[in-house]
Amino acid sequence: MLLSELKPLLKERSKDDLEKIVIALYKAMPKRLREEKQVDLLIEGAGLLPAGAKEKPNVAFADLQDQVNAFLENAYQQNYMAPNQVIHKKDRPKWRFIAAAMIKDLSAVPADSDDGRTATDLLVKLYQMLCHACHYYLFRSDDPFRSVGIVQTRFLDLIASRILLGGISPERVRLILALAVDDRHDRETVFADCMNTVLAYLKTPDSRQMAIGQGQILLAEQLKKRVYYEKHDYYNRVSRYSFEQIVKNTVTIVCTLYLLLDQVDDAVRFFKDNTTELFSKPDPVSKYRDLLGLLEKHVIRDAWLREYALAMQQGIAMIPRNEALFQHLKKYGAFPDADHPLDFNNLKSQVVYVLR
């Protein structure tokens, strides 16, 4: 029966009949459903709001929010791993079930609902915490994403879809880019996986152009932190390496966006201008290795040959694979494939030397 059919029928019933109907419906409704739909509050009058009145916050979601924040605080303080008086010893291994349940409950909150934005923010915090746990022991696990029962890229995909549900905006794009360039991955995930997960949501030229601008802003914000790493000795090599990788990942994702827009010269220029060793001597060999690898991945032959020739003119040594690839391009005019694989026969001595 439709609501339009129900309302006229209810108007014809007496007050006593309506009471009997409500009681019968209440008895037929499972307890769990009554609690979920807050039927008791509706009957008591709390669910019937006068015009212009603001709805009370969802008590259940407010409790969930407090639980997530408390869990995050205990996780970062290593209370689920180290001896402490906050989390009992027998409860510490249960962190994985707690985290999995929280992710499930938060994911069930519609992203476009009143609590959707807060739920998405909490999912982002849980994701970042698990990323942190991939580098530092927060739990007795060296693979936190797997322990929770979720693949890192799927979690990132869930968050990106929720963030962009309301439309693509500069702030939202910058947020998902920041999540993608984070270098803290589980043992089965690499940066390219996270990058591709996010780029799948940026399919139009306008969205990609917006992402380029936001990536450049993100890079500028990151480079401001370089001063702290240079001035303070307490930052160890691991922290510096992690910071340097985040910067490189940001450069790579911006260059990839340029290449997806067929702006090859802009991509090469941006790569050269922003790729540098932040805390060590410049390494032109690695720089050209990464640049040529990026151009090869996107099958841009002319730019690859041009950059290879420029590197040789500057006296920069090429890795054996790129030397073999140069010979291959001269011979076949295209990148290797199943019919014409890359041939290392003429470079065996160089390969052995590099491996040593």
CA angle 322–216–312, rounded 5-degree value: 20
77 is a domain residue: yes
Q: Is residue 128 within 8 Å of residue 156, measured between CB atoms?
A: no
Q: What is the per-residue pLDDT for 97?
A: 96
Residue range 38-58, pLDDT digits in tens: 677 677 654 444 445 444 445
Q: What is the per-residue pLDDT for 27?
A: 85
Q: Tell me, what DSSP letter sits at residue 339?
A: S
221 and 204 together in one domain = yes
Least confident stretch, 34-38, 105-109, 182-186, 301-305: 34-38
Closest CA to 64 of 112, 106, 35: 106
Q: Please, what's the b/e burial string for 29-39 (b: 16 or more CB within 10 A of its CB; e: otherwise)?
A: eeeeeeeeebb
Q: What is the per-residue pLDDT for 166?
A: 83
Residue range 143-178, pLDDT digits in tens: 999 999 999 999 999 999 999 998 899 999 999 999
Q: Which of 139-148, 172-181, 329-338 has the highest mean pLDDT?
A: 172-181
Q: What is the per-residue pLDDT for 150?
A: 94
Q: What is the per-residue pLDDT for 234?
A: 53
At residue 354, does pLDDT exceed 60?
Answer: no
Locus of tokens 């519609």 = 110
- pLDDT above 70 covers a percentage of the chain that reads 86
Per-residue H/E/C for 49-114: CCCCCCCCCCHHHHHHHHHHHHHHHHHHCCCCCCCCCCCCHHHHHHHHHHHHHHHHHHHCCCCCCC
Q: Is residue 161 within 8 Å of residue 167, measured between CB atoms?
A: no
Reported as a pLDDT band with limits 50, 70 and 90, residue 313 is: very high
| Residues 6 or more apart in contact with residue 310 via CB below 8 angstroms | none
> How many Å apart are CA 294 and CA 220, to the nearest integer?
22
The tally of domains found in the chain comes to: 3
Q: What is the per-residue pLDDT for 232?
A: 64
Q: Residue 59: exposed, middle, or buried by beta-carbon count in 10 A (0-12, 13-18, 19+)? A: exposed
Structural domain ending residue among the three candidates 150, 181, 198: 150
273 and 220 together in one domain = yes
Q: What is the per-residue pLDDT for 48?
A: 47
286 and 276 together in one domain = no
Structural domain ending residue among the three candidates 94, 119, 150: 150
Centroid of chain to Cα 92? 27
211 and 271 together in one domain = yes
Q: Is residue 42 within 8 Å of residue 56, measured between CB atoms?
A: no
Q: What is the per-residue pLDDT for 29?
A: 83
Q: What is the mean pLDDT of the chain?
A: 87
Q: Is residue 327 within 8 Å of residue 333, measured between CB atoms?
A: no
Residue range 223-244, pLDDT digits in tens: 888 877 777 655 566 677 888 8
Q: What is the per-residue pLDDT for 221?
A: 93
135 and 87 together in one domain = yes
268 and 288 together in one domain = no
113 is a domain residue: yes
353 and 288 together in one domain = yes
116 and 83 together in one domain = yes
288 and 266 together in one domain = no
Q: Is residue 278 within 8 Å of residue 284, measured between CB atoms?
A: no
299 and 276 together in one domain = no
Centroid of chain to Cα 124? 8
Q: What is the per-residue pLDDT for 235?
A: 54
At residue 307, does pLDDT exceed 90?
Answer: yes
177 is a domain residue: yes
User: Quick one: average pLDDT of 343-354?
Assistant: 54
Residue range 17-35, pLDDT digits in tens: 888 888 888 888 887 677 6
**Higher pLDDT pick, 4 / 123:** 123
Question: Which tokens belong to 176?
Answer: 């998902």
| Residues 6 or more apart in contact with residue 282 via CB below 8 angstroms | 276
53 is a domain residue: no
> How many Å apart are CA 200 and CA 214, to the nearest integer?
16
109 is a domain residue: yes
At residue 351, does pLDDT exceed 50?
Answer: no
45 is a domain residue: no
133 is a domain residue: yes
User: Quick one: average pLDDT of 241-270?
Assistant: 95
User: Quick one: average pLDDT of 179-208?
Assistant: 96
Q: Is residue 230 within 8 Å of residue 221, measured between CB atoms?
A: no
Q: What is the per-residue pLDDT for 19?
A: 87
184 and 257 together in one domain = yes
Residue range 215-224, pLDDT digits in tens: 999 999 998 8
- pLDDT above 90 covers a percentage of the chain that reads 64
What's the farthest any 2 CA atoms get from each other in the chain?
98
At residue 81, does pLDDT exceed 90?
Answer: yes
Q: Which of 52-56, 113-117, 207-211 has the highest mean pLDDT?
A: 207-211
Structural domain containing residue 288:
282-356
User: Quick one: average pLDDT of 85-99?
Assistant: 95
22 is a domain residue: no
138 and 207 together in one domain = no
Residue range 279-294, pLDDT digits in tens: 667 788 899 999 999 9
Structural domain ending residue among the three candidates 251, 280, 309: 280
Whole-structure pTM value = 0.78
